[in-house]
Chains A and B, each alone.
Chain A
Amino acid sequence: AQSVTQPDIHITVSEGASLELRCNYSYGATPYLFWYVQSPGQGLQLLLKYFSGDTLVQGIKGFEAEFKRSQSSFNLRKPSVHWSDAAEYFCAVGGVLTGGGNKLTFGTGTQLKVEL
């Protein structure tokens, strides 16, 4: 069974500081990995994705993530956080199922607070 662990429920950083959100996954085959961001009462916005190839992927809003197969991790990073980055961040794992199609399994999310 596939699963995702986001060990940090809440993280607080100062504006301008660097950010790293942790994500560990369990998946039987080659995983597809995603990071989504959610503002209060809103849907999920895709930040970046990893399917294959280069293990360092760039996303929107200056975010990047690195896939480390040996550590089963897909941590999200940003060099300098802006106040508008305050939101909840979800890591997700998926893959093509036997009968086709995708099913995403999400972590429990990390709530990011940015101090001015």
Chain B
Amino acid sequence: KAGVTQTPRYLIKTRGQQVTLSCSPISGHRSVSWYQQTPGQGLQFLFEYFSETQRNKGNFPGRFSGRQFSNSRSEMNVSTLELGDSALYLCASSSGTGATEAFFGQGTRLTVV
């Protein structure tokens, strides 16, 4: 069974640009969550999508957005990039119903210069 796939693995962007990250969850999983990991703030929850709808949202500015497609694949978009957006972005896949564990992808390392 294939795991969670995130693409690309590495990105370098310039301040002010926008970026789109992709996540393909485990087959059969309907929930995709996104987390930001930085040395200063640790692991922080961005948002969760379930059946193409945003179900939960963390405390991030509106520049951070996402969507989910009918095949459960999800994309996360960050507009008007700031230096502080440099981070490892992790996607987590779960069944989305009841008590369930989350399985993480390898992450996308975003560097904003």
Q: From B109, which residue of chain A is reached at the shortest CB distance?
A: A41
A41, A43, A51: the one within 8 Å of B104 (CB): A43
Residues of B with C-beta under 8 A to A116: none
**B99 touching A97 by the CB < 8 A rule?**
no
**B106 touching A42 by the CB < 8 A rule?**
yes
**B43 touching A90 by the CB < 8 A rule?**
yes
Q: For the complex, give the distance between the alpha carbons of A96 and B96 in Å.
A: 9
**A44 touching B104 by the CB < 8 A rule?**
yes
- A3-47: contact bitstring with B at CB < 8 Å (1 yes, 0 no)? 000000000000000000000000000001010100001111110
Please report the number of residue pairs spanning A and B whose Cβ atoms sit closer than 8 angstroms.
69
Q: For the complex, give the distance between the alpha carbons of A61 and B102 in Å.
A: 18
**A49 touching B107 by the CB < 8 A rule?**
no
Residues of B with C-beta under 8 A to A104: 33, 35, 43, 45, 92, 102
B6, B55, B101, B102: the one within 8 Å of A100 (CB): B55
In this complex, the member of A46, A96, A99, A104 whose beta carbon has the largest number of chain B beta carbons within 10 angstroms is: A104
Q: For the complex, give the distance between the alpha carbons of A5 and B54 in Å.
A: 28
Q: From B50, which residue of chain A is reached at the shortest CB distance?
A: A101
Is A69's CB within 8 Å of the partner chain B? no
- B31-43: contact bitstring with A at CB < 8 Å (1 yes, 0 no)? 1010100000011
**B42 touching A108 by the CB < 8 A rule?**
yes
B positions within 8 Å CB-CB of A: 4, 6, 31, 33, 35, 42-43, 45, 48, 50, 55-56, 58, 88, 90, 92, 94, 96-107, 109
18 A-B pairs besides A101-B50, A104-B102, A107-B42 with CB distance below 8 A are A32-B99, A34-B101, A41-B107, A42-B107, A44-B90, A46-B101, A46-B102, A46-B104, A51-B99, A100-B50, A101-B96, A102-B94, A102-B102, A103-B45, A103-B56, A104-B92, A106-B43, A108-B42
